[in-house]
């Protein structure tokens, strides 16, 4: 038998899940737990909250898109690049808030922190209804960006706690499909509120109603969503133990409150995270365009504002279909890199139609807008890739914030490609969509090559050694420290 080499295990890095398992080592009914039934139980209790939060965070953002064709610009006297700047400052605030999020997600349980922020961004969304000028709207959007910054990192961490790496792909897409649902619902809501003729403008009522709904969902999330599997009141002790043993194969840990500075530096210098960051920025440029300007582009084809709102709804259907297909595909075949590239192909085609077809070809340009939405399905791949390939709780918190922050960078760039001087066709912005999606596909291919190379290198290093898997599961090691860790691609 080959030699068994052990890392030294620091007690203060041991995961809290390991401590829970040690206290409940005498659980006797674990073998009776049906994992399929348990998985469905977790899905039913957690996915609806995740889905609702993600629907609302995108809806609260995309409402600015619809409000633009509902009279917001005229009512607030927005001129020049004021509207683009409003969208941009939302994501600047979002990006800045990711820095304290790294620390807070280490110290405050993710579900509680998520619920608090959902409630507060509901307040900020409702406050947008009271804006009287550019400055008032800008302040409301900045606070919205600060409070929404935790949505991606929190949902990534919560999803990775309860599912194995192969199970995570489909669950990530379940709640991420809320983006497409929000696009459809947003269009219908915008159309409905445009039928309201009142001294209090329809777009103001829309912001107020959605803000109140968001506050209610935030309060429910705080009260009902568990922070970790160990704190799920609706799981029996035997179910908790069975679940923790089930997800231990991830070797990424569940929860540890202590901040490990060494893991922060490891994340900063990790090549794979910079690859994920660049891919996220590239795909998010298109996302920024879709979120902020799709209704404006459609309105520019000669459609009325209510028609533009309804014609934007098929974008949501495209997002949902591609997101779910990707989730099912990865669950069955893995090959995240291939599914990523498959999503960029229709996105590139859509960007080409937008860039090079004449404006008079309304059907072709509309098809281009719809196809660009396929690119949004790449983000749950990047989210799941990040959580599956980063181990160590502090490193995962940093990685999730880094990828979420990269999403902000792309969304900062996206709206700024729409300059007032380029109206009404905005040709440079459309070409930017085309170029960044092509670049994202190339980065995804490079990442997969890196993971294949690294796995082969590790296999050679541990050849002849016996893996210390029990130690590796809960020792708090990072993916770099644990040489038996294998990357998924």
- Sequential DSSP letters for 260-288: -HHHHHHHHT-HHHHHHHHHHHHHHHHHH
Is 422 among the domain residues?
A: yes
- pLDDT tens track of the chain, all 489 residues? 444 444 444 445 567 777 787 787 666 667 778 888 999 999 999 999 999 999 998 887 778 877 877 888 888 988 888 887 887 888 899 999 998 888 888 888 889 999 999 999 999 999 999 999 999 999 999 999 999 999 989 998 898 888 988 888 889 999 999 888 988 888 788 788 877 767 778 889 889 999 999 999 999 999 889 988 888 999 888 888 889 888 888 877 777 777 888 999 999 999 999 999 999 999 888 776 666 667 777 877 778 877 877 888 888 899 899 999 998 999 888 889 999 999 999 988 887 887 787 777 888 888 888 888 888 899 999 998 998 899 888 898 899 889 988 988 888 887 677 676 777 667 777 788 788 888 999 999 999 999 999 999 988 877 656 555 555 566 678 888 888 888 998
Is 249 among the domain residues?
A: no
Per-residue pLDDT at 2? 43
CA nearest neighbour of 193 among 72, 317, 320? 72
Is 385 among the domain residues?
A: yes
- The C-alpha atoms of residue 330 and residue 339 are separated, in whole angstroms, by 7
- The C-alpha atoms of residue 186 and residue 288 are separated, in whole angstroms, by 16
Is 272 among the domain residues?
A: yes
Is 240 among the domain residues?
A: no
Contacts of residue 352, Cβ cutoff 8 Å, sequence gap at least 6: 368, 434
Q: Outline where DSSP puts E strands in 127-273.
A: none
- The C-alpha atoms of residue 16 and residue 177 are separated, in whole angstroms, by 31
> What is the pTM for the complete model shown?
0.83
Is 479 among the domain residues?
A: no
User: Can you give the residue range of the structural domain that contains 288?
Assistant: 16-24+33-235+262-474
Per-residue pLDDT at 112? 92
Per-residue pLDDT at 424? 66
- The C-alpha atoms of residue 210 and residue 205 are separated, in whole angstroms, by 9
* Backbone dihedral region for residue 7 (phi beyond 0: left; psi -120 to 50: alpha; all else: beta): beta
Q: Are 265 and 52 in contact (CB under 8 A)?
A: no
CA nearest neighbour of 399 among 413, 389, 408, 409? 389
Percentage helix, strand, coil, to 5, in the chain?
75, 0, 25
Helices H, strands E: what count in the chain?
Answer: 21, 0
Q: What is the CATH number of the domain that holds 290?
A: 1.20.1250.20
Per-residue pLDDT at 236? 87
Is 46 among the domain residues?
A: yes
Reading the block at residue 396, the tokens are 């995962």
CA nearest neighbour of 396 among 384, 383, 387, 408? 387
Reading the block at residue 20, the tokens are 């829970």
Contacts of residue 304, Cβ cutoff 8 Å, sequence gap at least 6: none
Q: Are 203 and 67 in contact (CB under 8 A)?
A: yes
Number of domains the chain is built from: 1
298: three-class secondary structure by DSSP = helix
Is 11 among the domain residues?
A: no
Over its C-alpha atoms, the chain yields an Rg (Å, rounded) of 23
Q: Outline where DSSP puts E strands in 252-397.
A: none
- Environment class of residue 314 by beta-carbon count within 10 Å: exposed (0-12), middle (13-18) or buried (19+)? middle
Q: Outline where DSSP puts E strands in 298-457.
A: none
Reading the block at residue 350, the tokens are 């859509």
At residue 226, φ and ψ (nearest 5 deg) are -75, 145
- The C-alpha atoms of residue 307 and residue 281 are separated, in whole angstroms, by 31
CA nearest neighbour of 98 among 47, 149, 62? 149
Q: Are 126 and 240 in contact (CB under 8 A)?
A: no
């Amino acid at each position: 038998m080959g030699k068994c080499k052990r890392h030294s295990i620091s007690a203060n890095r041991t995961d809290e899940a390991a401590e829970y398992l040690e206290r409940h080592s005498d659980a006797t009914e674990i073998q009776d737990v049906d994992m399929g039934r348990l998985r469905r139980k977790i899905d039913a209790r957690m996915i609806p909250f995740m889905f609702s939060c993600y629907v609302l965070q995108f809806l609260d953002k995309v409402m600015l898109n619809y409000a633009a064709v509902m009279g917001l610009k005229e009512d607030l006297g927005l001129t020049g690049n004021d509207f683009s700047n409003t969208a941009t400052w939302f994501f600047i605030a979002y990006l800045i808030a990711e820095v304290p999020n790294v620390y807070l997600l280490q110290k405050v349980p993710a579900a509680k922190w998520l619920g608090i922020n959902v409630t507060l961004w509901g307040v900020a969304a409702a406050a947008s209804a009271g804006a009287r000028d550019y400055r008032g709207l800008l302040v409301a959007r900045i606070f919205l960006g600060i409070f929404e910054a935790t949505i991606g990192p929190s949902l990534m961490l919560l999803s990775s706690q309860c599912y194995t790496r192969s199970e995570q792909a489909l669950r990530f897409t379940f709640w991420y499909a809320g983006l497409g649902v929000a696009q459809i619902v947003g269009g219908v809501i915008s159309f409905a509120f445009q039928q309201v003729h009142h001294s209090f403008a329809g777009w103001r009522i829309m912001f107020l109603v959605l803000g109140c709904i968001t506050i209610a969902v935030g309060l429910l999330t705080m009260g009902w969503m568990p922070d970790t599997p160990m704190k799920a009141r609706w799981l029996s002790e035997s179910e908790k133990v069975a679940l923790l043993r089930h997800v231990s194969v991830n070797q990424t840990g569940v929860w540890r409150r202590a901040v490990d500075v060494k893991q922060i530096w490891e994340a900063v210098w990790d090549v794979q995270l910079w690859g994920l960051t660049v891919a996220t920025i590239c795909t998010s440029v298109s996302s920024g365009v879709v979120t902020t300007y799709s209704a404006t582009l459609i309105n520019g084809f000669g459609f009325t504002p209510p028609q533009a709102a309804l014609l934007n709804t098929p974008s949501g259907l495209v997002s949902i279909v591609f997101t779910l297909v990707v989730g099912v595909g990865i669950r069955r075949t893995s090959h995240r890199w291939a599914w990523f590239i498959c999503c960029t192909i229709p996105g590139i085609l859509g960007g080409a139609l937008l860039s090079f077809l004449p404006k008079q070809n309304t059907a072709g340009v509309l098809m281009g807008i719809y196809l660009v939405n396929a690119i949004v399905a790449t983000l749950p791949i990047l989210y799941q890739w990040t959580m599956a390939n980063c181990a160590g709780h502090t490193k995962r918190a940093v990685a999730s914030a880094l990828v979420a922050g990269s999403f902000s960078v792309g969304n900062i760039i996206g709206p700024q490609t729409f300059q007032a001087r380029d109206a009404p066709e905005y040709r440079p912005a459309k070409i930017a969509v085309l170029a960044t999606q092509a670049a994202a596909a190339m980065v995804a291919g490079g990442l997969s090559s890196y993971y294949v190379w690294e796995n082969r290198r590790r296999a050679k290093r541990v050849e002849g050694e016996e893996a210390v898997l029990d130690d590796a599961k809960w020792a708090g090691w990072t993916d770099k420290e644990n040489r038996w860790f294998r990357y998924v691609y």
